[in-house]
Structure 1
Amino acid sequence: MIKIVEPIFSEEEKEAVIEIIESHQITRGRWTKTFQEEFARFVGVGHCYTVCSGTTALFIALRALGVDKGDRVVVPAMSFMATIDSVYLACGEPVVVDVDEFFTMDLNQLEDAVKRFRPKVVMPVHLYGGMADMEGLMFLAEKYGFYVVEDAAQAHGAELKGKRAGAWGHIGAFSFYASKNVPMGEGGALTTDDPDIAKKIESWIDFGDHPAFNVRITEFQAAIGTIQLRKLKERNERRREIASRYTSAFSEDFTTPLEREDSLHVYHLYTLMHPERDRLIEELKGSGIDARVYYNYLLHELRNSEHLPTPNAERFRKEVFSIPVHPYLKEEEVELIIGALLRAVSSGKII
């Protein structure tokens, strides 16, 4: 089976893990400090704080910005459930809006939601590795006075107008789960360029002024993450190369992913749309190719929350599916995936 994702680790990661074991410094050591410094530089911000998961990063981001009981937080309809769960965990009240043709937050509808609900925070999601319209969103943030938390769990290295995901909003939140472009196994991080917000984030990570959590990562995670981060640019380029070949092959028969102008899409997932999605997935699996739906639910359906009409998301979720695009795919595997999917779609056509 050609897997949808397959993190690969080298001798370099193995040697780092052994070094940590022999040092007896398995937490809060040099690797954690190194990762935080290197990731902050990579994103282009002054501060980075590692935590145990992407969900935790989102929760702490909301708390650091003062979200509490009754505060509204706007999220897009399409995302992993952690996006909306973090709002409830922070005692906020989510408001769900539709997505645009890039699978990211619809800014026209967002402005309507902001006028109606007056949110404290808006949480755009850079879904599948493509950036939301952060330039337009930050304009609205300045106009209406809300905070912005970027859910960048799927967007390590993604860019818009030369500025990376996690550097646009007041806070960026990342995940380093095993499937991500920078995998640690588990882990997350918060990024910010605001020193005052940085201090508030620290207060939720270090025990002190109010009840906090122990959300630290281990030195093992930090070492693996540091080494993986140093390989990220090359691996994102490989993802983009594979995605380009897919788009050339599939553009006549499928709705292929769009790239926002002056952006760099990092293809955490390569997501197509087709009305016969379910049949195609079964045929691909029969050919030994993993294909999955991200996601077959909308966030307001999961938690029965306040929402505006979501016609785009409702249509997309019936047709979206993702195929392997990870950087460890061999050339023959890429060709096999292209051939199998073209045969599958052809077999369903009426002649």
Structure 2
Amino acid sequence: MEGRVRERIPILDLTPEVEELWDDLMAAITRVLRSGQFILGPEVEAFEREVAEYLGVKHAIGVNSGTDALVIGLRALGIGPGDEVITTPFSFFATAEAISLVGATPVFVDIDPKTFNLNPDLIAAAITPRTKAILPVHLYGRPAEMDPILDLAEAHGLKVLEDCAQAFGATYRGKKVGTLGHAGAFSFFPSKNLGAYGDGGLLVTNDDEVATLGRMLRAHGSKRKYHNETVGYNSRLDALQAAILRVKLPRVDTWNQARRQVALHYNELLADVPGLVLPEVSEGHVFHQYTVRVLGKRRDEVQKKLGEVGIGTMVYYPVPVHKLPVYAHSGFFLPEAERASQEVLSLPIYPAITEEQMLYVVGELRRIQDGDSRQPSRGVWRGT
């Protein structure tokens, strides 16, 4: 086995977290099982109160997924058929999909190549009489530049729904993301900074009317059972997932800080590796992903070689949304998003990643970028 990695270093490993929290998780799950209440109920209500207090927002509404949070958020803000919503082409498909699902049209604006987020300088040119909202994404855990976005929205009478799926706990000028616009949508997919152990999502707002509509829409459009007032969805956060999230919520700031420290250390270790552009550890960034650019059209080759020595990586995202078959007819040419899709590579990052693991990742990446002139590292990762 000398010179080979016996175990992979995954891009994310949740097992240390589960082991650390095992007793508390089992107590929470047992509490729900013995309560006999599995859909909404006191566990979800308690989580909604606690997460609203954490975020500093008036209303928090637990839903089935981050995608549902976007769909319900758009509808609660009055977005529908015939409307246009400005958003980024460099995000998970659900961002644009939610716009289409409510009958509106996504209008894609290119990204800032430094942050990978929506470029606010390009938004004004995309506004038309049909524009009704802006949907920025806080990609990889880095807050979008919200001040100019909010200024534009106010000037043109537009709604702002923040996609915070990758940015739970991130801050922009001292305020939690999701609380800056008219509403915010979060995902609790297991890989997120605050993740459930199944699907889950959250819609937050300070607007009483939006909150009322959001709660109706998650429950088939009704305020009271069997008294449906509009066509809604079956989108309720499970009590089991709420109980798990309640265990994890008090630890999320510590975990986010650990992610920032990992990012800082990566930046130190990779600073002199040729052919890479490293992410900035900016204020409020919570590093859902640690994403580098691999220059020289070598990204796919580098990813393949890292995989051969047991290092897990991901490309978020290999095809910008405006180039996917469902939107390819729209005719957008967005060169920064298209270039990013050919260069980005996300390296392993999670709060429990060890120094040994990071050194192995960096050593192998350095070897590959130096032209494979050295043999693969003989250091064997044995895990934690």
Q: TM-score, normalised to structure 2's length?
A: 0.87
- For residues 1-351 of structure 1, what are the structure 2 equivalents within 5 Å? 1-7=8-14, 8-9=17-18, 10=21, 11-100=23-112, 101-114=114-127, 116=128, 118-184=130-196, 185-206=198-219, 207=222, 208-252=228-272, 253=274, 254-260=276-282, 263-275=283-295, 276-302=298-324, 303-304=326-327, 306=330, 308-347=332-371
3-state secondary structure, aligned to 1:231? helix
Q: Tell me the amino acid that sits aligned with residue 187 of structure 1.
A: G
Please report the RMSD computed on the Cα atoms of aligned residues, expressed in angstroms: 1.5
8 Å CA contact retained: 1:95, 1:307: no
Q: Tell me the amino acid that sits aligned with residue 340 of structure 2.
A: F
CA separation in 2, counterparts of 1:286 and 1:308?
36
8 Å CA contact retained: 1:97, 1:309: no
CA separation in 1, counterparts of 2:170 and 2:80?
30
Q: State the shift of 1:203 in Å.
A: 2.3
3-state secondary structure, aligned to 1:264? coil
CA separation in 1, counterparts of 2:249 and 2:92?
23
Deviations 1:179-208 (A, max 9, x none): 101111210000101112212212212323
CA separation in 2, counterparts of 1:307 and 1:153?
27
Higher deviation after alignment, 35-44 or 47-56: 35-44
8 Å CA contact retained: 1:4, 1:323: yes
Percent of residue pairs identical: 36
Q: State the shift of 1:258 in Å.
A: 2.4
8 Å CA contact retained: 1:272, 1:320: yes
CA separation in 2, counterparts of 1:288 and 1:139?
47
Unpaired runs of at least 5, structure 1: none
CA separation in 1, counterparts of 2:82 and 2:323?
20
8 Å CA contact retained: 2:153, 2:159: yes
8 Å CA contact retained: 1:94, 1:306: no
8 Å CA contact retained: 1:50, 1:188: yes
Deviations 1:32-62 (A, max 9, x none): 1111111111111100000000000000011
Q: State the shift of 1:4 in Å.
A: 1.1
Q: State the shift of 1:118 in Å.
A: 4.1
CA separation in 1, counterparts of 2:150 and 2:132?
14
CA separation in 2, counterparts of 1:347 and 1:228?
43
3-state secondary structure, aligned to 2:277? coil
CA separation in 2, counterparts of 1:97 and 1:193?
27
Q: Tell me the amino acid that sits aligned with residue 284 of structure 1.
A: L
Q: After TM superposition, what 4+ stretches of structure 1 lie above 6 angstroms from structure 2?
A: none
Q: State the shift of 1:29 in Å.
A: 2.7
Unpaired runs of at least 5, structure 2: 1-7, 223-227, 374-384
CA separation in 2, counterparts of 1:175 and 1:141?
24
3-state secondary structure, aligned to 2:108? strand
Q: TM-score, normalised to structure 1's length?
A: 0.95
